[in-house]
Structure 1
Amino acid sequence: MKLFARLLVTVGLVATAGLTAPAAQAATSSGVNDWSCKPSVAHPDPVILWHGMGTNSDTNFALLAPQLQQAGYCVFHKTYGTTYYGSYSGGLASMRTSAGELRDFVTKVRTTTGAPKVDIVGHSEGTTVPAYYLKFLGGGAVVNRFVGFGSNFQGTSLNGLQTLADLTGFRSILDAGGCIACNEYAPNSSFITDLNAGGVTVAGPTYTSIVSQYDTVVTPYTSGILAPAPNVTNIVLQDVCSSDFSGHVGQATDPNVFALVKNALDPANAQPVQCIPMPFYG
């Protein structure tokens, strides 16, 4: 039971990303999922936000979503991958299934807004699922820019807990407990193997991946580094802001990360990042 508790706490850390009271979430998310929004000339691609494991879209993007909306983007998000725990804790179902949800949501956004392409911004599992969608479900043809932070494309050792789960037979408990995605994050899982076979990226979209040296959930943090390619940009947060100690969860509320995301979405108008010192937050 101690192992069970520790694993759930570790893989569920993303659920604390951007912690806010429900009332505050509703207030800061105003303007998001406005299905009457029409993309502007300045920002022709609607932005879809894809959350991390164990959380929901309102919580994960309570701060980033309104900033993008106020910057003139049409912004959309949804809570995906729910199992036994309802809509407050998503990202737990199989990531293959969640990629199908993303495909359908992209279709809805494109159809409603009239935009031929979208941009996707994801955190944590919200980078892994879109990568699968882009590679296997046709997303490469309809996504212009993909921006991830707290990225994970190669799985995570969870600081050795994945090995411990293998040795103890704990994986069946995770599946039965409603977190299929937890097991899919094992570096040797069929999901991670398929995603990496022949390379994660596809031609067409631009990929920007932001990682932190202080990430304690995606271990090693280099699991979020994409192979070099003309359409790939990898950013280690501390290479830009050396006094930023945000880890995995902290990136969801980090103004330095938000500045990098905005620059990746609109590279023609990129602004220097005014680095703000940030404390360690796993």
Structure 2
Amino acid sequence: MRKSFVTVTLAALALVSQVAISPSAAADPLPVPHNFFDGIGLEVADPGGSIPGSNDWTCKPTATHPEPVVLVHGTGANRQTNWATYVPLLENEGYCVFAPTYGTRPGSTWPMSAFGALLPLQQSAEQLADFVDEVLAATGARKVNIVGHSQGTLMPNYYVKFLGGASKVDKYVSLAPLWGGAGAFWAGEITAFVKQNGLGPLQEQTFGTLCASCLDMAPGSDFVEKMNEGELYAPGVAYTNIATRYDELVVPYTSGLVPGPNTTNIVVQDQCPQDYSEHAGLAASPVAAAHVLNALDPEHPRPVPCTVIAPFTGSPVG
């Protein structure tokens, strides 16, 4: 009887031990929506909040992923509207995930405060520098990895090149990179006309009051020219540029694929012609997401899926 009791007890303890350490006993993974516009619903449900899985200031990086990931949104977006896909995706992979909202107009209240990345890019880069310092202090990490979309591919490089960020950034992953500027809507031609006719102050006092960053991102702007002087890329930082042929804002899309040392350029349609994601949809496409995961963890590459991806939403079809 005693032997049977001991046996049952040991078996029960073993079972409890297995449950305690089994991955299946861990928290359920967060759902990963592949629809760029799902972020709008998150912002409406929690104005000014953070997507669950991000901005946990108690998060400590693991040995597997020792560097936190900082997500840098695009023009008019914020830390929720831009990152419905990437926050849960990276959280499920075991990264500490952080996302600022930057570049909002001073004194604005919601809903206007939900529209970020509108200030001059240098000012936004200074805000990013402060945010990265907060992330490093909270996590104890030495460096962060940056994943940016649209404006979030260009602005952080000012921080990296001119504000000391090169020593604090390891990997720099860009979705829809615009190293040559956003050339849609004749932005480059307008910039050239403004410069030739001395209309810069007038432009800044009119359109610039609404979107100063838009002026900075135009091809040929002083900001873009400054960023491309000498070497575009900062030494010691690993860059990955992920572009789509259907980008309607970065025109031509190839302007974001600048070759350089320690730099990988990817066009999603080269691997998956059925991916029809354009500028916005690229930030939700599972094809692009696999490339991002591989860029962040190149020592453990995973297969990149290929399926039909809808434009604008970035959602798989069928």
For the criterion TM > 0.5, the same-fold answer is: yes
Q: Which of 252, 268, 274 is 1:237 aligned to?
A: 268
CA contact (8 A) 1:25 1:59 kept: no
Measured after TM superposition, the shift of residue 158 of structure 1 is: 1.1
Matched, 1:154 2:180: yes
SS at 2:242 equivalent? strand
CA contact (8 A) 2:43 2:80 kept: no
CA contact (8 A) 1:28 1:63 kept: no
The residue aligned with 1:50 is: 72
The residue aligned with 1:182 is: 214
Where structure 2 has 5 or more consecutive residues not aligned to the other structure, the ranges are 1-35, 314-318
Q: Distance in 2 between matches of 1:160 and 1:39?
A: 44
Q: Distance in 1 between matches of 2:187 and 2:249?
A: 11
CA contact (8 A) 1:28 1:66 kept: no
Query: Per the alignment, do residues 263 and 25 of structure 1 end up closer, same or farther by CA in structure 2, a change over 3 Å counting?
Result: farther
Q: Distance in 1 between matches of 2:191 and 2:160?
A: 30
Moved more, 150-159 or 68-77: 150-159
Matched, 1:40 2:71: no
The residue aligned with 1:6 is: none
The residue aligned with 2:168 is: 142
Show the 5 A alignment for 1:54-73.
54-73=76-95
The residue aligned with 2:8 is: none
Measured after TM superposition, the shift of residue 281 of structure 1 is: 2.5
Q: Distance in 2 between matches of 1:262 and 1:180?
A: 32
CA contact (8 A) 2:187 2:218 kept: no
Q: Distance in 2 between matches of 1:144 and 1:267?
A: 13
Q: Distance in 2 between matches of 1:25 and 1:72?
A: 26
Measured after TM superposition, the shift of residue 202 of structure 1 is: 1.2
Query: Per the alignment, do residues 132 and 25 of structure 1 end up closer, same or farther by CA in structure 2, a change over 3 Å counting?
Result: farther
The residue aligned with 1:273 is: 304
Q: Distance in 2 between matches of 1:239 and 1:228?
A: 20
The residue aligned with 2:277 is: 246
Task: Give the letter aligned to residue 274 of structure 2.
Answer: S
Give the number of equivalent residue pairs: 265
Q: Distance in 1 between matches of 2:37 and 2:158?
A: 23
Matched, 1:20 2:53: no
Show the 5 A alignment for 1:111-130.
111-130=137-156
The residue aligned with 2:124 is: 98
Q: State the TM-score, normalizing by the size of structure 1.
A: 0.88
Moved more, 192-201 or 149-158: 149-158
CA contact (8 A) 2:147 2:173 kept: yes
Q: Distance in 1 between matches of 2:50 and 2:100?
A: 15
Query: Per the alignment, do residues 227 and 245 of structure 1 end up closer, same or farther by CA in structure 2, a change over 3 Å counting?
Result: same
Measured after TM superposition, the shift of residue 165 of structure 1 is: 6.5
More strand by share: 1
Query: Per the alignment, do residues 25 and 246 of structure 1 end up closer, same or farther by CA in structure 2, a change over 3 Å counting?
Result: farther
SS at 1:184 equivalent? helix
> For residues 61-107 of structure 1, what are the alpha-carbon distances to aligned partners after superposition, in whole Å with 9 as ceiling and x for unaligned?
01111110111000001100111654210001000111111111110
Task: Give the letter aligned to residue 197 of structure 1.
Answer: E
Task: Give the letter aligned to residue 278 of structure 1.
Answer: I
Q: Distance in 1 between matches of 2:42 and 2:87?
A: 15
Query: Per the alignment, do residues 257 and 24 of structure 1 end up closer, same or farther by CA in structure 2, a change over 3 Å counting?
Result: farther
The residue aligned with 1:197 is: 229
Q: Distance in 2 between matches of 1:29 and 1:244?
A: 26
Q: Distance in 2 between matches of 1:132 and 1:245?
A: 30
Q: Distance in 2 between matches of 1:227 and 1:190?
A: 22
The residue aligned with 1:218 is: 250
Identity of aligned residues (%): 40
Q: Which is greater in Rg?
A: 2
Alignment RMSD (CA, Å): 2.1
Measured after TM superposition, the shift of residue 246 of structure 1 is: 0.6
SS at 1:126 equivalent? helix
Measured after TM superposition, the shift of residue 22 of structure 1 is: 3.1
Query: Per the alignment, do residues 194 and 49 of structure 1 end up closer, same or farther by CA in structure 2, a change over 3 Å counting?
Result: same
Task: Give the letter aligned to residue 127 of structure 1.
Answer: T
Query: Per the alignment, do residues 24 and 262 of structure 1 end up closer, same or farther by CA in structure 2, a change over 3 Å counting?
Result: farther
SS at 1:235 equivalent? strand
Q: Distance in 2 between matches of 1:154 and 1:139?
A: 21
Q: Distance in 2 between matches of 1:24 and 1:267?
A: 36
CA contact (8 A) 1:156 1:223 kept: no
